[in-house]
Chains A and B, each alone.
Chain A
Amino acid sequence: MTRKQRRLTLIGSAGAVLAVALGLILFALNDQIVFFQSPTDITQKSIPAGQRIRLGGLVEEGSVVRADNAQVSFRVTDTANAVAVTYKGILPDLFREGQGVVTEGIVNADGTFVADSVLAKHDENYMPKEVAEALKDQGHWQGGEGEAN
């Protein structure tokens, strides 16, 4: 091989790997990202059943119902609208009625949100940033900066 061919092989293979990586990234960004929605978004926009979304808001007071088999249902509200959520599993330590929560899952045909993960993060002051902003949009959030500390 001549020097030029060697250099071309090097540049070619580098280009190929980078092209593959770029392709994968673009494909995954199109397909695998999950949008954050508030309860109002879900009631107003029509979100196709089966599409994964993140739903965030406050856990409505008095809405948590525990059934057997570790089934839990509760309602997530942004004070304007509320969405019913079902979840099978153990709720995080800091899950509380009246506190902020982020759930991820899909909306099923009858409008119930079936969550497969529930996040209420590591701190008693924690208000997920998305939730705090969504609540501010609704004009109902009076607290300070919702941040972990």
Chain B
Amino acid sequence: MIVELGHYALVLAFALTLVQCFLPLWGALTGDDRLMAVAPPVSVTLFMLIMISFVALTIAYLTSDFSVLNVVQNSHSAKPFIYKFTGVWGNHEGSMLLWVLILVFFGALVGVFGGNLPKDLKAATLAVQAWVTGGFILFLLATSNPFARVANPPLEGADLNPILQDIGLAIHPPLLYVGYVGFSITFSFAVAALILGRTDAAWARWVRPWTLLAWCFLTLGIAMGSYWAYYELGWGGWWFWDPVENASFMPWLAGTALLHSAIVMEKREALKIWTVLLAIFTFSLSLLGTFLVRSGVLTSVHAFATDPARGVFILGLLVFFIGGSLALYAWRAPMLKQGGLFAPISREGGLVLNNLFLTAACAAVFVGTLYPLALDAVTGEKISVGAPFFNLTFGPLMIPLLLAVPFGPILAWKRGDLLAASQRLYVAFGLALVFTLFTFWLWGMEKVLAPLGVGLAVWVMAGAVSEIVTRVKFFEIGPKRGFARLVGLPGSAWGTVVAHFGVGVTVLGIVTASAFQEERIETMRPGDTVEVSGYQVTFDGAAPRRGPNYVEEVGHFTIRQGGVLVTELDPSKRVYTARQMPTTEAGIHTIGFSQIYLSMGESRGDGAIDVRVYFKPLITLIWIGCVIMSLGAVFSMADRRLRIGAPKPASRRKTAQPAAAE
């Protein structure tokens, strides 16, 4: 009954999106207030309906209702409670329902908090959002109904794929989806601006917090996914340039470009047309990511769907939304007025440079991800494009960008002075040089590029701090007044510093973890010891153990440094009984920012096992840096300016005041 209610709510929501698609839009174009007023209440109702739907599915999972096909295929009564709950989105249908839930949630936010948006912009934005929502609800209803029943309910379900039974899965998809789908709002704003034929600073001021919010979650989602793959797959890698990873990375790159170009648009009214295009691209890449991941074009843990009809349907949606918005763009963009001249050496110039490199890097990732698919489709030849390709293309494009990062915030708007900017970066440059030479001295000629990488990371971090210290003239006016001024800086200034610092931290983690990691692969018998980076790892033996829905062989390892006990680790090899599927549980110990990583191979029967031992220096900085970056986005969102709005220029009656993106 509850399940049917959920299904019914979903159908009802689809019918409502049809209303929302046309009436408010018609109202916005004809200036009919009554029609425009339809949009906000409908957006809230849509959210409530999808919520009912989602709750219904959740209840089916929690009560292990095996008369629902989706639950049968992905759940098991013996599964721990938390994974019954996260299992709701650990499958194709449920995850698409979550996607739609977030879509309507963002729509409702605009509906509720968009009170001070220009009426027509708000109505048109909500209408566009409804188009996207309607498309995806139709997709759910037509090809992937989560509420389908089975005629003869089995007694037991097939269980969730074991490697998805992890707390990382509980968090990763919702974070990623808030990121992906958050860009749908900027997309809707962009398309609405094209439909209405105008954008202004108020538009940019509205778009920026949404971009920041989406970007913040996407960053966390990608970091979470990376950490999950690191500890759950047992390979010790944190990024594989796997097409599925790239699918989430491309919208991130475009989104990063977007949140920078939106600054130029807001502050200087320049780059309007480009910003609108980026907003369209970013969400298009999110859609493309969904298509790649969910359609089964790629084989991976994410490819739940095998039904070709689904792939074709998502492809149809993709063509409709991307093609439609780009056609609209080609037709309407020339109507948007360009403004704001600037010299090449200026803050705007710096942000343009940022956009150039980010979009070029995004293009490189795009080619590397889609070329094998295209080649296979055209010639039937099978190739794989792996890390070497991306290291050779993405890497070189990032280096000039990272070199330029500290300059950006220091340059003045309109006309900057490169020499004066350099003078404020002496200290950062000195620090970078010192760390480069220090690393070089530590490792000698063995590694040549790594010290430069460390220097680059320090340059970005120190550059971010220099900017703010020299900006308040901290050392000239003394620490007491200096601190007061630092606290008084606007949130967006802090956001820039914190986010850029986070970039440096991540780069440092990447460089050290890839260049200086040590790895040993050995066959060990109880009592054997291997040494890695100064740590002695002793294998004490293995014993079987039984969990709620799995059995495992647990190895016991003791780690010492110079005879002193550091820790004991228990990596294991599990077999989940319902699917008879083995998984590897790595043993990880964190020392400072570095980690010792142990994973076991299969037991050989005579007590010997294959063991892989890594020491990964500073590896946690990779994810910590991502968290810092998201924190930067939070600071930026907290900026008073984004909450209060622009002082109203006398000449413009309809200046919008943005609501908070809280």
Is A36's CB within 8 Å of the partner chain B? yes
Closest chain B CB from A20 CB (angstroms): 8
Q: Which of A29, A34, A90 contacts B599 (CB 8 A)?
A: A90
Closest chain B CB from A136 CB (angstroms): 12
Is A130's CB within 8 Å of the partner chain B? yes
By the criterion CB–CB under 8 Å, are B306 and A149 in contact? yes
For A80, the chain B residues whose CB sits under 8 A away are none
By the criterion CB–CB under 8 Å, are A121 and B367 in contact? no
By the criterion CB–CB under 8 Å, are A149 and B383 in contact? no
By the criterion CB–CB under 8 Å, are A25 and B306 in contact? no
Known A28-B389, A93-B234, A130-B382: A17·B360 in contact at CB below 8 Å: yes
Distance A20 CA – B353 CA, assembled complex (angstroms):
14
Known A24-B393, A93-B582: A68·B301 in contact at CB below 8 Å: no
Known A6-B343, A36-B382, A70-B610: A122·B389 in contact at CB below 8 Å: no
For A25, the chain B residues whose CB sits under 8 A away are 363-364, 367-368, 393
Pick out which of these stretches binds chain B: A7-15, A43-51, A105-113. A7-15
Interface centre among B304, B357, B360 (most CB of A within 10 A): B360
For B361, the chain A residues whose CB sits under 8 A away are 21
By the criterion CB–CB under 8 Å, are B610 and A90 in contact? yes
By the criterion CB–CB under 8 Å, are A6 and B341 in contact? yes
By the criterion CB–CB under 8 Å, are B601 and A90 in contact? yes
By the criterion CB–CB under 8 Å, are B521 and A70 in contact? yes
The DSSP consensus for interface residues of chain A is mixed
By the criterion CB–CB under 8 Å, are B382 and A3 in contact? no
For A91, the chain B residues whose CB sits under 8 A away are 601-602
Q: Which of A17, A31, A34 contacts B384 (CB 8 A)?
A: A34
Q: Which A residue sits closest to B305, measured CB to CB?
A: A149
Closest chain A CB from B300 CB (angstroms): 6
Is B481's CB within 8 Å of the partner chain A? no
For A70, the chain B residues whose CB sits under 8 A away are 521-523, 601, 610-612
For B371, the chain A residues whose CB sits under 8 A away are 29, 33
Is B649's CB within 8 Å of the partner chain A? no
Q: Which of A10, A122, A130 contacts B352 (CB 8 A)?
A: A10
Is A141's CB within 8 Å of the partner chain B? no
In B548-588, the 8 Å CB interface with A consists of 573, 579-584
In B589-626, the 8 Å CB interface with A consists of 599-602, 604, 610-612
Interface centre among A20, A25, A34, A126 (most CB of B within 10 A): A25
Closest chain B CB from A15 CB (angstroms): 10
By the criterion CB–CB under 8 Å, are B393 and A21 in contact? yes
In B357-397, the 8 Å CB interface with A consists of 357, 360-361, 363-364, 367-368, 371-372, 381-386, 388-389, 392-393, 396-397
Known A35-B383, A68-B523: A122·B301 in contact at CB below 8 Å: yes
For A104, the chain B residues whose CB sits under 8 A away are 384, 386
Is B163's CB within 8 Å of the partner chain A? yes
Is B296's CB within 8 Å of the partner chain A? yes
For B521, the chain A residues whose CB sits under 8 A away are 69-70, 88-90
By the criterion CB–CB under 8 Å, are A66 and B389 in contact? no
Q: Which of A1, A28, A90 contacts B343 (CB 8 A)?
A: A1
For B611, the chain A residues whose CB sits under 8 A away are 70, 90
Distance A32 CA – B372 CA, assembled complex (angstroms):
12
By the criterion CB–CB under 8 Å, are A13 and B356 in contact? yes
Q: Which of A14, A28, A126 contacts B356 (CB 8 A)?
A: A14
By the criterion CB–CB under 8 Å, are A35 and B381 in contact? yes
Q: Which of B299, B360, B363 contacts A128 (CB 8 A)?
A: B299
In B229-284, the 8 Å CB interface with A consists of 234
Q: Which of B299, B382, B389, B600 contacts A126 (CB 8 A)?
A: B299
By the criterion CB–CB under 8 Å, are B301 and A35 in contact? no
For B421, the chain A residues whose CB sits under 8 A away are none
Is B161's CB within 8 Å of the partner chain A? yes
Q: Which of B161, B353, B392 contacts A122 (CB 8 A)?
A: B161
Distance A31 CA – B368 CA, assembled complex (angstroms):
13
By the criterion CB–CB under 8 Å, are B344 and A24 in contact? no
For A128, the chain B residues whose CB sits under 8 A away are 299
For B336, the chain A residues whose CB sits under 8 A away are none
Q: How large, as a class, is the contact surface on chain B?
A: 35 or more
Is A145's CB within 8 Å of the partner chain B? yes
Closest chain B CB from A124 CB (angstroms): 5
By the criterion CB–CB under 8 Å, are B356 and A32 in contact? no
Known A34-B386, A90-B599: A24·B579 in contact at CB below 8 Å: no
Q: Which B residue sits closest to A129, measured CB to CB?
A: B299
For B372, the chain A residues whose CB sits under 8 A away are 33
For A133, the chain B residues whose CB sits under 8 A away are 382
Closest chain B CB from A50 CB (angstroms): 14
Known A14-B356, A34-B384, A90-B610: A121·B299 in contact at CB below 8 Å: yes
Is B303's CB within 8 Å of the partner chain A? yes
For B342, the chain A residues whose CB sits under 8 A away are 6
By the criterion CB–CB under 8 Å, are B353 and A123 in contact? no
Distance A147 CA – B353 CA, assembled complex (angstroms):
42
Q: Which of A27, A68, A121 contacts B300 (CB 8 A)?
A: A121
For A130, the chain B residues whose CB sits under 8 A away are 382
Interface 0/1 of A38-74, CB less than 8 Å to B: 0000000000000000100000000000101110000
Q: Which A residue sits closest to B302, measured CB to CB?
A: A148
By the criterion CB–CB under 8 Å, are A90 and B600 in contact? yes
Distance A34 CA – B372 CA, assembled complex (angstroms):
10
Distance A121 CA – B382 CA, assembled complex (angstroms):
18
Closest chain A CB from B551 CB (angstroms): 14
By the criterion CB–CB under 8 Å, are A123 and B301 in contact? yes
By the criterion CB–CB under 8 Å, are A21 and B300 in contact? no
By the criterion CB–CB under 8 Å, are B581 and A124 in contact? yes
In B311-364, the 8 Å CB interface with A consists of 341-344, 352-353, 356-357, 360-361, 363-364
Closest chain A CB from B261 CB (angstroms): 13
Interface 0/1 of B73-92, CB less than 8 Å to A: 00000000000000000000
Which 4 residue pairs of A and B lie closest in terms of their CB atoms, listed nearest first?
A: A36-B382, A90-B601, A21-B360, A32-B388
Additional 12 contacts, C-beta under 8 A, given A36-B383, A54-B384, A69-B523: A9-B344, A13-B352, A20-B396, A36-B382, A70-B610, A90-B234, A93-B582, A93-B583, A121-B299, A121-B301, A123-B581, A129-B299
Residues of chain B whose beta carbon lies under 8 Å from any beta carbon of chain A: 161, 163, 234, 296, 299-301, 303-306, 341-344, 352-353, 356-357, 360-361, 363-364, 367-368, 371-372, 381-386, 388-389, 392-393, 396-397, 521-523, 573, 579-584, 599-602, 604, 610-612
Residues of chain A whose beta carbon lies under 8 Å from any beta carbon of chain B: 1, 3, 6, 9-10, 13-14, 17-18, 20-21, 24-25, 27-29, 31-36, 54, 66, 68-70, 88-91, 93-94, 104, 121-124, 126, 128-130, 133, 145, 147-149
- Supply 16 A–B pairs (Cβ within 8 Å), ascending by A: A6-B342, A21-B393, A24-B393, A32-B388, A33-B372, A34-B385, A34-B386, A35-B381, A35-B382, A35-B383, A36-B383, A70-B601, A88-B521, A122-B163, A133-B382, A148-B301
